Amino acid sequence: MKISDILTPARTLADLNCVSKKRTLESISHWLAEQMPDFNGREVFNALINREKLGSTGFGDGIAIPHCRLSSCTQVTGALIRLSTAVDFDAIDQQPVDLLFVLLVPLEATDEHLQILATLAGSFGQPEYREQLRNAADANAMYQIAIA
């Protein structure tokens, strides 16, 4: 599975202003519910927070890949977000996070879930890729970088 299979321009957001991990996940959850009316913002937020309680999804190098399974999710759905100011995300390297890729997955999509997490880790593991996303002029430019 490729990033272009799960990300759309409408689910790419540049320069979201948040002050904490919790507020970031809450803002993103409600924004996603606006983009996709089948999702309930509170349900998404609760699922993401519950996943974070198992261990931070802070990947390192300023990246987080919050992800969860949802009963209301019928297909793997991604969202790419750049924060205006990095926030503490309890990342493995203790660095604040400014780039997030949120992944919402149907309950039964175990293999797809693991495949896309591996794809995302590979992409975000590349310093040039991260830098391009950070320097992108706007959300559309971020989307183009992400699917290239």
Q: Mind telling me the catalytic residues?
A: 67
Burial of 135-147, coded b for 16+ CB within 10 Å and e otherwise, reads ebeebeebbebbb
The DSSP call for residue 9 is G
Q: According to DSSP H, which parts of the chain are helical?
A: 21-35, 41-54, 110-124, 127-135, 139-147
